Amino acid sequence: MHVHTAVVPAAGMGTRFLPATKAVPKELLPIIDTPALQLIIDEAVGAGVDHMVIVTSHAKPAIEAYFQPQPEVIAKLRSSGRDGMADRLEAIGRDVKVSFAYQDQALGLGHAVGCARDAVGDEPFAVLLPDELMGSSSLLDQMARLCELTGGSVVGLKEVPHEQVGAYGVIDPIGTLDEHGVIGIASMVEKPHPDDAPSDLIIIGRYVLTPDVFDEIARVRPGAGGEIQLTDALKAQAARSPFHGVATDVLRHDTGNPFGWLTAVVDIALTDERLGPSLREWLRTKVC
Ligand code: G1P
């Protein structure tokens, strides 16, 4: 079945970015001039998604405000000949249906995804963690097609140095990666001690999940960090259904902390045709 819905967990308080996130949600912090959340939506749309479910909290009204039409601003832009920007603003929330679900208690990623159950319905769906920016839609697209083919859930994977695995969900693979980066998954564990980790393949923030995961989430008890972990619900799925990972070396930025956000902005700006050349020049004067 075609994957047309994507869930974005975006209810967190963004404590690592305080005081900036006191009034502006972390997901709306700019990557040059575009909110990170918009880049996530663009990635999902590029993989065939036409319905975004944003899991937010009532303490973050700016997330919903971002999707409100602003006809006066658009009229002003058009009357001053800035049609390109007017078109961009008009497209927000028009080319894709946006629904909201609410998670008002920080009970974990599994709980956040569970909050989207009614909005998703009974079909496979994607999950995109907005702290991670991918350079393109290609990974999610490949994952969606693999889910359609196998009828089972799929996670995005990346191989990392062994000492880093304890910060992530880690898979227990079946066999080895094939030529498309696909691997079977027997099980997985959230934030293991590196000595106990079953591999160096970590789950990155992209998932395509079959809807039976909602029943598993409802059954899961608090795990690592006392939270309802998505990884624990996926482990239960993998124990009884086909479950795969797709490993990628696509350019990926972790914008969940100030250093990662800063390097993401610089890296992306360096590839921007308007800003890249002068930024490169300026950086040379600073670092040499
Ligand atoms: C979450 C998931 C973890 C995954 C990670 C990817 O962890 O629980 O399995 O590997 O995202 O970034 P968090 O970063 O919320 O601690």
- pLDDT (0 to 100) of residue 133: 96
pLDDT confidence tier of residue 3, bands split at 50, 70 and 90: very high
- The CA-atom distances, in angstroms, between 175 and each of 121, 192, 283 are 33, 21, 45
Minimum mean pLDDT range among 125-129, 274-278, 284-288: 284-288
What's the CA gap between 23 and 12, in Å, rounded?
Answer: 13
204 CA distance to ligand 1 centroid (A)?
7
| Residue 129 Cβ contacting ligand 1 at under 6 Å | yes
Ligand 1 center to 206 CA (angstroms): 10
Q: Is 205 in the pocket of ligand 1 (CB under 6 A)?
A: yes
Query: Across the strands, what pairs with 244?
Result: 154, 184
> Per DSSP, which regions of 114-226 are E strands?
125-128, 132-134, 153-159, 169-174, 182-190, 201-209
3-12, 183-192, 244-253, range with the lowest pLDDT: 244-253
End-to-end CA distance of the chain: 54
Q: Which residues contact 75 (CB under 8 A, 6 or more apart)?
A: none
Per residue in 196-241, pLDDT (tens digit) is 999 999 999 999 999 999 999 999 999 999 999 999 999 999 999 9
Residue 109 in contact with ligand 1 by CB distance below 6 A:
yes
Phi, psi of 103 (to 5 degrees): -125, 100
pTM of the model: 0.95
The domains found in the chain, sorted by start residue, are 5-256 (3.90.550.10)
